Amino acid sequence: MIAVGITVALKEILASFGLSGGLLSVVTYAILASATFGLLSVLALFLVWWERKIAGHMQQRFGPMRNGWHGWYQTLVDGLKLLQKEDVRVATRDKVVFFWAPVMCFIAAFAAYIVIPFGDGLIVADLNIGILYIMAITTFTVISLLMAGWGSNNKYALLGGMRSAAQVVSYEVPMVASILVVVLYAGSLSTVDIVNSQAGNFLNWNIFRVPYGPLAFLTYLVAAIAEANRTPFDLAEAEQELVAGFNIEYSGMKFAMFFLAEFINLFTVSAIAVILFFGGWHGFEFIPSFVWFFLKTFAVVFLLIMIRWTYPRMRVDQLMEFAWKFLVPLTFLNIIIAAIFKHFGWYWEL
């Protein structure tokens, strides 16, 4: 157990160098932001390679094999290639919107990591509205996709952007409703409090403790796949009909930012699933807490990748009707049932 958080420890070290007041906080958070960016870059590089390997093996081929052992630095080489690519800009674009869309997409994915606890005390800032903050900041992705669609002045891009806007706002509602079930039992919005309410035995994890916890997890998972724009809900970038959707006119580093944000989002939704339903960093004490967190999160990521390469894409009208006519009533009924169970105490507290 780490007694103090990483932020407090870093602040003490910096204070010994003579920093104080507001500057101390800014420097601390700036260092943590760089560290988070480093971690996320490595994670994204790994996740891209991992996804390609899994996809390959599911389709009875090998996936990347050339660079290193089983192509382990393939994505690093791809990133270097993207860095050297010419930035092709459409002549008829909206200059400001076109430029800021990838920046916004990246920030929306990146800023969510303030409140994600990687382990006991490994959190940048334990905001008291933690989970609500994640929901709020990741939704900015929609605005960036709309910006990319509109700014490119391209019909495919516009269709992709509009579709993803309609899709993400629709699946936002069941996602919030699934999270509310957990908040009801944790009695707090802070991610650290939610994880700590599931301490002890694994039967204390919300997926087992909350009545209909598996149902809440399933509805969360479906909504999360839709929020992260992944197959079977990747209508925003459906290759066969929209060629690439919102990012069709982007190249070089600007495209790389969309790509990076997509894989950061994949890790984010899995991490939230682990925080909400699988007890976060808790596990057997003799293994460090962050190992547990990464193990559980990678298990959920693996599940999401398997889903992506198993199911075909949905039709856009089926997608919207599934959200509004099935998921929304189901998740709100689940809230009512969970509230009744909580009120009469029909759950265990180990």
- Could you say which residues in the range 59-78 bind another protein, by CB under 8 A? none
For position 87 contacting another protein by CB under 8 A, the verdict is yes
For position 240 contacting another protein by CB under 8 A, the verdict is no
Cβ(29)–Cβ(284) below 8 Å: no
Q: Give the residue, chosen from 90, 122, 218, 330, that forms a contact with another protein under the rule CB under 8 A.
A: 90
> Considering only CA atoms, which of 268, 278, 170 is closest in space to residue 226?
170
The count of residues interacting with another protein (CB under 8 A) is 82
Question: Shortest approach of another protein to residue 169 CB, angstroms?
Answer: 4
Which token pair is 151?
């700014």
* Distance (Å, whole) CA 26 – CA 16: 16
Binding mask 135-164 for another protein (x = CB under 8 A): --x------------x-xxxxxxx---x--
Which residues 248-307 are close enough to bind another protein by CB under 8 A? 248-249, 252-254, 256-257
CA pseudo-torsion sign 324, 328, 333, 336? negative
Cβ(217)–Cβ(207) below 8 Å: yes
| Three-class SS state of 324 | helix
What burial class does residue 336 get, using C-beta atoms within 10 Å of its C-beta: 0-12 exposed, 13-18 middle, 19+ buried? exposed
* Distance (Å, whole) CA 96 – CA 314: 33
For position 30 contacting another protein by CB under 8 A, the verdict is yes
For position 173 contacting another protein by CB under 8 A, the verdict is yes
Question: Shortest approach of another protein to residue 185 CB, angstroms?
Answer: 9
Report the residue number, 13 or 243, with the smaller CB distance to another protein: 243
Report the residue number, 77 or 339, with the smaller CB distance to another protein: 339
For position 9 contacting another protein by CB under 8 A, the verdict is no
Report the residue number, 57 or 81, with the smaller CB distance to another protein: 81
* Distance (Å, whole) CA 180 – CA 243: 37
* Distance (Å, whole) CA 197 – CA 204: 8
Q: Give the residue, chosen from 72, 188, 204, 347, that forms a contact with another protein under the rule CB under 8 A.
A: 188
For position 89 contacting another protein by CB under 8 A, the verdict is yes
